[in-house]
Chain A
Amino acid sequence: DGGITQSPKYLFRKEGQNVTLSCEQNLNHDAMYWYRQDPGQGLRLIYYSQIVNDFQKGDIAEGYSVSREKKESFPLTVTSAQKNPTAFYLCASSNRGDEQFFGPGTRLTVL
């Protein structure tokens, strides 16, 4: 089945630790995106990548980092510099100018 997967579904982090969220797609999409969603809020763009080995900051990139070494994969690292990382993280992919397909999300909680 074609789709976009995220892992883990739930993630707990201690303060001061970096954590990496996985996002994989087998839809052959060029573009991939990371969003953050807080309770009762919309989606805010963290980073996006329109092609392998290239990515751009979104609206709230501070405290996050990404890489795009393969077309299928776009991992997001939440660093210790992110002051309030507890949120629901959504990954998406698309072909240019088309709808974005979303993964199931990862819920990150800082202990």
Chain B
Amino acid sequence: GESVGLHLPTLSVQEGDNSIINCAYSNSASDYFIWYKQESGKGPQFIIDIRSNMDKRQGQRVTVLLNKTVKHLSLQIAATQPGDSAVYFCAGGRGNTPLVFGKGTRLSVIA
């Protein structure tokens, strides 16, 4: 079955630096991948998604890269701000099946 995991459980970055959060997946049949941000005590919020036929997608200050050859997904946050401090989850899905979530990476921004 699908499994989605993250390379690092925690990440600390200086304010203003770029952050890169990584994710590996096992099911090459996944149609799409999503990054979520979860602040303490709240539900996850959608950040950005990418379909399996794409390599890169950009949003506001965020970029998701998909490398299907090595089954790797990354989220890049430009000019990281204190408000970016949260836990970030990647999730993979296919068709109508439920998303499978990784364990999350806690991003701490150092002012």
Contacts and interface: CB of A to CB of B under 8 A. Distances in A.
A100 B99 contact: yes
Contacts of A101: 46
B85 to A, nearest CB: 16
B102 A97 contact: no
A3 B95 CA distance: 23
Contacts of A100: 34, 46, 91, 99
Nearest to A56: B98
A58 B98 contact: yes
A9 to B, nearest CB: 9
Interface stretch (A40-48, A66-74, A79-87): A40-48
Interface residues of A, number: 24
B43 A90 contact: yes
B98 to A, nearest CB: 5
A40 to B, nearest CB: 8
A14 interface: no
Contacts of B91: 100
Contact of B43 (A31, A42, A102): A102
B41 A105 contact: yes
A58 B99 CA distance: 11
Nearest to A105: B43
Contacts of B36: 102
Contacts of A90: 43-44
A97 B45 contact: no
Contact of B98 (A41, A42, A45, A103): A45
Contacts of B9: 40
A20 interface: no
A50 B32 CA distance: 18
Contact of A42 (B49, B95, B96, B102): B102
A-B interface, 10 closest residue pairs, ranked by CB to CB distance from nearest: A102-B43, A42-B103, A43-B101, A42-B101, A96-B96, A102-B44, A105-B43, A99-B46, A104-B43, A48-B98
Interface of A: 6, 31, 33, 35, 40-43, 45, 48, 50, 58, 90, 92, 96-97, 99-105, 107
